[in-house]
Structure 1
Amino acid sequence: MRMSRILSCASGYSTGILVFSIGLIVFGASSSFLQIRFSNTTQEFQIPTRVPKKGPEYPPIFSYWISGTKGDKDRILRLLKAVYHPRNQYLLNLDASSSYFERRRLALSVESEKIFQAFGNVNVVGRSQAVDQIGSSALAAMLHAAALLLQINRDWDWFITLSASDYPLISQDDLLHAFNSLPRDMNFIDYTNKTGWKERQRINQIVIDPSLYFQENTPIFHASETRETPDAFRIFGGSPWSILSRAFMEYCVHGWDNLPRKLLMYFSNVEYPLESYFHTVLCNSDEFQNTTLNNDLRFILSDTSPHVEPHFLNTSYYERMVRSKAAFARPFQDDDPVLQKVDEDILRRRSDGLVLGSWCLDIGMNQSVKANIGNLTSKEDSCSGWDNIDAINPGPDGVKLKAFVSKLAAERRLQSNPCNQQ
């Protein structure tokens, strides 16, 4: 069987082809239609003439990378629907521990959604890559995802990484509203240069990640040698979860000076490089060190001891999550009841449906989601049509988050070099 999707190129959108049959993403070509080919059947849907408008007077555009492993197909689809908005771009990725058939079913599930077809802003990586979250293969996967999203469409403002065990605590209308007035070069990342045990145990210890050169996920191994702490740059560390600007991701991918490449070579032999690489690049770059906001907008409960995984979140943490001013939380166990509570009380999302915003005709720009959610009957996506995708209708959560991130930005402006304050 062969399945391919040709994404149309309307004004403001780049063009791409997603070919899943041989497990590759290939970009190029164009068409005035979005074509779904499965076996010998072809369905055509007219691409909407409305595409996201860019500029300071319009909401930003987020570019999401949602990754998972074997058995995560349904979790990724649920997360995708919880964070979907027609303005944004989405790249879904299952690593090498997943089977070809699971990746294929993920792509087919995306193709079956009418709204995803119409806006052509959801792509699935067909070829799997081996990834060990402890090793540098995880860093390579993130840089690869950023490169693909830049190739698919450069008209986005922030790069957001999510795993299948993450979930939003705010709607996309609220998140777009909160970021709307921010300078679009800001980087939300939790960091410090007081790494302590991380510097001794992780940075100086040399590790090898076989997932870089084997097709299947393979555990890292430690070399017997250690190395001294470098003096050519300062090492920073923190949370591996972040919201990074397009300008910074282009800098890391294209590296027009030698710093990103030099640090990539160094961190390829470091344990947990996602907890240090981007932090260190940001704070050692003259161009980007003043663009940091020391907050990753995540709700995560973890111990301070090294190598301890965060606590799984459940209903006992619900009130703390709601009060946290975070945009996302993690990790959740598959289908935990607290996710249903978030869907119902925060996102107003119906089972297997999308989070409705003012772009949906069933809601309307001047009507509330809460008032309309009970009147919707569509089992597929709870949205029978779409309107102005540049309009957003934030609720109280969006207003609160906007005040919080604006305060973070104002505090940063009072510091000549935020990295030196950590």
Structure 2
Amino acid sequence: MRKSWGLGRPSGDRRWLLPFAASLLVSATLFLAAACGLFSPPSLADGDDDSILIDVATWDTAAAVESEIRNRLVDSASDDGDNPDDAAVNSDASSADPPRIAYLLEGTKGDGARMRRALQAIYHPRNQYILHLDLEAPPRERIDLAMYVKGDAMFSEVGNVRVIAKGNLVTYKGPTMVACTLHAVSILLKEGLEWDWFINLSASDYPLVTQDASRDVLLISYEMPPKRLEFRIFAFRIVYFMTKDDILHVFSSLPRNLNFIEHMQLSGWKVISRAKPIVVDPGLYLSKKFDLTMTTERRELPTSFKLYTGSAWIMLTKTFLEYCIWGWDNLPRTLLMYYVNFISSPEGYFHTVICNSDEFRGTAVGHDLHYIAWDYPPKQHPNMLSMRDFNKMVKSGAPFARKFPKDDKVLDKIDRELLHRSEGQFTPGAWCDGSSEGGADPCSSRGEDSVFEPGPGAERLRGLMKKVLSWDYRNGSCSSLGYDQTKRDWYVPKGRG
């Protein structure tokens, strides 16, 4: 029996119509979209450039990013025909915008209260602060420090104080101290914070000048008899119109590419006792603190770079520390690996990097901005400071001093006569906009923080800057001259004259 296909053929012949119609619709849509420009790149409206560039930068190559930073640093230095090495220092790298300083404040077990006091003494809303209690401090102490920062109304309002939650294990004289410093710098760079210089301080350091103001009129109120209370209150009220600016004022007039780092070429007994031995820092791989481990092996002095040494306390520029982190010519990374097995690497790493770098050698200024009392000849540790050192500290012009015993009376004298700071309060400055009636903290209210005026502390600091930035003094930077830590000056070592 023959099957009839007549009735089913029309339906089978039309099965291609649905796919064809769908394809035609899609094709027409794509054509119209292209004609109307729906798939063309959007035009950059005013103000949208940054967001587009950020997206592109995240996919850029590391080499291109390093090249951009390097070019920015090189362009910031102008050529000086007489002294090519000093081009960066002699250039006008200062900015109309007042400077900002980033502080690393370090401590260990039992230093929580000292760190709070030091933070109050150096605090200013323009600056950035990173607090680090090492792993030897108990968790409770670190939590208390973090809760203090979180609970302070000014810190919460400004948002410029950070506590490193996970403490690093730091070995005295070991590379873990350098790693801790680089850790803090990395946080500052990662957060995209604004700062011009970086200063590291310990809990045994203390400032000798204010961040931005010195309230001399307060001294009058301290000398008033108790019965003249009304005048005392009046003096507290008028003092806010008589503020004088110190450290931020002085550094406002300096080029922003100066690196303050005490340094000298490694020589004498330090070559034998520091450069040739090979040590291992247990803090790199153990969870408990131990002294450096000495090995029986010794090594020769390097021939591809010169070794420098100096103070572990520094004031370095953001551009130089970017170089230490990025290391586009590999020098910072090479030296970091070398100093892993070096005794007292915190007293040599940054010094050797800057003095072996063609781009930054001319920016080094041989001073650590500290007053430190040394024996003669200097021993491993400086002397503890006390009341008998007060006049010498002031006369030095240095903005900081160390080492202070915990809660020593000389700190109270510094608070009273140099910082004019009451216990538990910030060092008063032009940015403080509150009232001090009834013992209240005038810095509980924030005012203008970018207008400065010089005071006695600024005059002392300016005198120090005049000395260390003079040609005679800077001639010793990154040279073969020796450095006398007790006299704070250069000299020609025996056999080199």
Task: Find the aligned partners of 2:398 and 2:208 in 1 and give their Cα distance.
Answer: 7
Task: Find the aligned partners of 1:259 and 1:172 in 2 and give their Cα distance.
Answer: 34
> How has the CA–CA distance of structure 1 residues 302 and 55 changed in structure 2, closer, same or farther, with 3 Å as cutoff?
closer
Tell me the alpha carbon deviations over residues 127-182 of structure 1, each in whole angstroms, 9 at most, x when there is no partner.
01111121111111111111112222341010000000000011001111111111
Task: Find the aligned partners of 1:268 and 1:194 in 2 and give their Cα distance.
Answer: 17
- The one-letter amino acid paired with 1:164 is A
Matched, 1:418 2:418: no
Matched, 1:346 2:385: no
Matching residue of 1:51: none
Counterparts of 1:398-413 in structure 2, within 5 Å, are 398-411=458-471
Matched, 1:377 2:433: no
- The one-letter amino acid paired with 2:334 is K
More displaced 10-residue stretch of structure 1: 68-77 or 109-118 = 109-118
Deviation at 1:254, TM superposition (A): 1.5
Task: Find the aligned partners of 1:376 and 1:145 in 2 and give their Cα distance.
Answer: 38
Deviation at 1:408, TM superposition (A): 2.6
Matching residue of 2:194: 155
Deviation at 1:256, TM superposition (A): 1.3
Q: Does structure 2 retain, via aligned residues, the 8 Å contact 1:63–1:158?
A: yes
Matching residue of 1:104: 143
Deviation at 1:195, TM superposition (A): 2.8
Match of 2:257 among 185, 199, 212: 185
Task: From the two aligned structures, give the one with the greater helix fraction.
Answer: 2
Matching residue of 2:166: 127
Residue aligned with 1:98, SS: coil
More displaced 10-residue stretch of structure 1: 175-184 or 297-306 = 297-306
Matched, 1:252 2:324: yes
Task: Find the aligned partners of 1:304 and 1:237 in 2 and give their Cα distance.
Answer: 18
Q: Does structure 2 retain, via aligned residues, the 8 Å contact 1:188–1:296?
A: yes
TM-score (structure 2 length as normaliser):
0.69
5+ residue gaps, structure 1: 1-53, 364-374
Deviation at 1:409, TM superposition (A): 2.6
> How has the CA–CA distance of structure 1 residues 67 and 143 changed in structure 2, closer, same or farther, with 3 Å as cutoff?
same
Matching residue of 1:319: 391
Counterparts of 1:5-404 in structure 2, within 5 Å, are 56-173=95-212, 174-303=246-375, 308-362=380-434, 375-379=436-440, 381-404=441-464
- The one-letter amino acid paired with 2:465 is V
> How has the CA–CA distance of structure 1 residues 378 and 114 changed in structure 2, closer, same or farther, with 3 Å as cutoff?
farther
Task: Find the aligned partners of 2:128 and 2:353 in 1 and give their Cα distance.
Answer: 25
Q: Does structure 1 retain, via aligned residues, the 8 Å contact 2:265–2:480?
A: no
5+ residue gaps, structure 2: 1-92, 213-245, 482-497
More displaced 10-residue stretch of structure 1: 345-354 or 247-256 = 247-256
Tell me the alpha carbon deviations over residues 160-211 of structure 1, each in whole angstroms, 9 at most, x when there is no partner.
0000000001100111111111111101111111532112101111000010
Task: Find the aligned partners of 2:408 and 2:119 in 1 and give their Cα distance.
Answer: 17
Residue aligned with 2:324, SS: helix
Q: Does structure 2 retain, via aligned residues, the 8 Å contact 1:293–1:412?
A: no
How many residues matched? 356
Residue aligned with 2:188, SS: helix
> How has the CA–CA distance of structure 1 residues 413 and 318 changed in structure 2, closer, same or farther, with 3 Å as cutoff?
closer
Matching residue of 1:41: none
> How has the CA–CA distance of structure 1 residues 213 and 377 changed in structure 2, closer, same or farther, with 3 Å as cutoff?
farther
Task: Find the aligned partners of 1:237 and 1:55 in 2 and give their Cα distance.
Answer: 28
Tell me the alpha carbon deviations over residues 44-97 of structure 1, each in whole angstroms, 9 at most, x when there is no partner.
xxxxxxxxxx97123210000000001110000000000000000000000011
Q: Does structure 2 retain, via aligned residues, the 8 Å contact 1:178–1:403?
A: no
Task: Find the aligned partners of 2:438 and 2:328 in 1 and give their Cα distance.
Answer: 52
Residue aligned with 1:334, SS: coil
Q: Does structure 1 retain, via aligned residues, the 8 Å contact 2:263–2:477?
A: no
- The one-letter amino acid paired with 1:83 is I
Deviation at 1:306, TM superposition (A): 7.1
Task: Find the aligned partners of 1:414 and 1:312 in 2 and give their Cα distance.
Answer: 29
- The one-letter amino acid paired with 1:206 is I
- The one-letter amino acid paired with 1:72 is D
Q: Does structure 2 retain, via aligned residues, the 8 Å contact 1:362–1:376?
A: no
- The one-letter amino acid paired with 1:377 is G
Deviation at 1:418, TM superposition (A): 3.2
Percent identity between matched residues is 42
Matching residue of 2:4: none
Residue aligned with 2:407, SS: coil
Tell me the alpha carbon deviations over residues 257-289 of structure 1, each in whole angstroms, 9 at most, x when there is no partner.
110001000000001101111110000000000
Task: Find the aligned partners of 2:328 and 2:161 in 1 and give their Cα distance.
Answer: 29
Residue aligned with 2:312, SS: strand
More displaced 10-residue stretch of structure 1: 187-196 or 268-277 = 187-196
Task: Find the aligned partners of 1:403 and 1:305 in 2 and give their Cα distance.
Answer: 26
> How has the CA–CA distance of structure 1 residues 293 and 128 changed in structure 2, closer, same or farther, with 3 Å as cutoff?
same
* Structural RMSD (CA): 1.9
Deviation at 1:389, TM superposition (A): 1.2
More displaced 10-residue stretch of structure 1: 330-339 or 133-142 = 133-142
- The one-letter amino acid paired with 2:137 is S
- The one-letter amino acid paired with 2:464 is F
Q: Does structure 2 retain, via aligned residues, the 8 Å contact 1:302–1:308?
A: no
Residue aligned with 1:262, SS: helix
Deviation at 1:404, TM superposition (A): 2.7
Task: Find the aligned partners of 1:157 and 1:242 in 2 and give their Cα distance.
Answer: 13
Q: Does structure 1 retain, via aligned residues, the 8 Å contact 2:282–2:290?
A: yes
Q: Does structure 2 retain, via aligned residues, the 8 Å contact 1:96–1:131?
A: yes
Matching residue of 2:59: none
Task: Find the aligned partners of 1:269 and 1:296 in 2 and give their Cα distance.
Answer: 24
Task: Find the aligned partners of 2:94 and 2:344 in 1 and give their Cα distance.
Answer: 37
